[in-house]
Every structure is written in structure tokens, then in C-alpha cells.
């Protein structure tokens, strides 16, 4: 479905670990791209890189902490020295949300989430802006359905993701005249490891089958199912490709119809 949409492009994925990060890397490679993989865990990067090379595309794993300026410089330098270009930048790094009332939230913890989820994305985009302008490329920001819903205990995470949405819109305004598109993808529940584990815990606490928990949550979606990592990654590939050449400043919900926007 994604074949050759990114033929001979270079896609840089921050947060290229398991789950969605891996799916974005693999779907980009299947679409014809070489992939720069950035994350903290070297073994996970090596595993994803092996999958990319098995597809027949080049993979460059770069272990780095995106909250460290030296780490961001290392990602940028490695990508440009190896490939000489970056056509698409995908921000997938995020801090796992703490479920706590806003009035009880620790201010330093919230600042840390902003550093990881927002400021690192800004800094990496700033560093790669000249390459993206030269390529007339694209930035894709992974957001969350939390910006649409009213789930309790996600106030701090909602603040971070709303700021990330504002960042993407601001970058679209500034980079658009230079030929660079900036869009966001907002997934819902992603049917993968963490969500499966969470549903299993809920099922165990309630003494029911995990499939019952899945069915109850899926009933809140129009398609009566939860999206899988590849389905969200395909939306990223679309935004990175020339099929989206006239689309910028937008946020696409990939929630199987759990949210409407």
C-alpha cells in the first residue's frame, strides 16, 4: 500500500524504538526510504535497523538522548554526513504520561515532559531546517487523541500535547514559505504492547477476559476496533510523501473513529 511513496528519500525517526517508532521506520523503508533511527536504547535501534536492511534499504542507528543538545547534534551530524540530506523528519519521542490530577502534579515532572515532548522537537527541527528546506521536505509530529478527549488524570500530558500541536502549527507557518510542510498525526489507543498489557491488567482486576475489555473500548469507535501501529505509520508515510504536497498545518486523527475532527 505504501510502495515507492518515499522512493530514495531519507526519513529520520526520533523515538525509533518498539511499537509505533518501529512501525514508522519499517513502513518508510517499505515505501522506498532509507531511515535514520534515533533513540536511547542501542539494542532496540539495532533490531529495527536489521529489519530495515532486510527490506533492502539503508538504516543508520544513532543512540542519543533528545533532551541533550549534544545528542541532538549527534543525530543531525550523523544523518547529514551519512546521507547528505534529510527529506522527512518524524518526531515520535514522548514521555510516558503520569496519571495524576493537575492540582497534584509535580511541576518539575511537567517541565521534564515539556523538555522531552516539545522542546526537543523544536530543537531537532531547528537543526535540520536547512536540510529540510533544501529537500523541500516534510516534518511529521506524532501527537495524541488526548488533545480531543476529556479523559481524567491526563491534564499534564494534555498540556504537553496541546503545546506540541501549537509547535507544529507555528513551524508550518514559518517553514511553509520555504517549501517545508509540517503536519501532525494524533493516534488513539494503539493496539500494541503497552495497551495490550494495560487491558490485560484491567481484565485481571475485573476477573474478565481481556477481549471483553477490548470490545468495550472498541465500542466507542466508529469502526469497532483499535488502530494498529502500521495503520498509524501509514498516515505518517502519507504526510511525508508527495501525495500530501499541498497539505500543511493539519492534524489527522487516526483513532478508528474514536474522535472526530
Cα–Cα–Cα angle for 212, 214, 217, rounded to 5 degrees: 110
Interatomic CA distance for residues 9 and 91, integer angstroms: 17
CA distance 85 to 78: 11
Rounded CA gap, 28 and 3, in Å? 9
Nearest of 256, 66, 250 to residue 165 by alpha carbon: 250
C-alpha cell at 42: 542501542
Cα 3 to Cα 18: distance, rounded to the nearest angstrom? 22
Q: Are 127 and 119 in contact (CB under 8 A)?
A: no
Task: Please confirm, yes or no, whether 157 is among the known catalytic residues.
Answer: yes
Q: Which of 83, 94, 157, 239 is catalytic?
A: 157
CA distances from 19 to 85, 93, 119 (A): 26, 12, 23
Please list the active-site residues. Answer: 157
Amino acid at each position: 500500500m505504501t510502495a515507492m511513496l518515499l522512493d530514495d528519500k531519507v526519513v529520520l525517526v526520533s523515538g525509533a524504538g518498539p511499537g509505533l517508532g518501529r512501525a514508522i521506520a519499517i513502513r518508510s523503508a517499505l515505501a522506498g526510504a532509507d531511515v535514520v533511527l534515533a533513540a536511547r536504547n542501542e539494542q532496540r535501534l539495532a533490531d529495527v535497523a536489521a529489519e530495515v536492511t532486510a527490506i533492502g534499504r539503508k538504516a543508520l542507528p544513532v543512540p542519543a538522548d533528545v533532551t541533550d543538545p549534544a545528542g541532538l547534534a549527534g543525530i543531525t551530524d550523523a544523518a547529514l554526513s551519512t546521507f547528505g540530506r534529510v527529506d522527512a523528519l518524524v518526531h515520535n519521542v514522548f514521555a510516558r504520561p503520569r496519571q495524576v490530577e493537575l492540582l497534584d502534579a509535580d511541576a518539575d515532572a511537567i517541565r521534564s515532559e515539556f523538555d522531552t515532548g516539545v522542546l526537543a522537537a523544536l530543537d531537532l527541527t531547528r537543526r535540520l531546517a536547512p536540510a529540510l528546506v533544501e529537500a523541500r521536505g516534510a516534518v511529521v509530529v506524532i501527537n495524541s487523541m488526548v488533545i480531543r478527549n476529556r479523559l481524567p488524570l491526563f491534564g499534564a500530558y494534555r498540556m504537553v500535547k496541546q503545546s506540541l500541536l501549537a509547535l507544529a502549527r507555528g513551524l508550518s507557518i514559518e517553514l511553509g514559505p520555504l517549501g517545508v510542510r509540517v503536519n501532525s498525526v494524533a493516534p488513539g489507543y494503539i493496539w500494541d504492547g503497552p495497551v495490550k498489557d494495560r487491558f490485560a491488567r484491567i481484565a485481571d482486576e475485573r476477573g474478565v477476559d481481556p477481549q471483553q475489555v477490548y470490545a468495550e473500548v472498541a465500542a466507542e469507535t466508529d469502526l469497532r476496533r483499535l488502530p494498529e501501529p502500521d495503520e498509524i505509520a501509514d498516515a505518517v508515510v502519507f504526510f511525508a510523501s508527495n501525495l500530501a504536497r499541498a497539505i500543511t498545518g493539519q492534524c489527522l486523527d487516526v483513532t478508528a473513529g474514536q474522535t472526530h475532527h
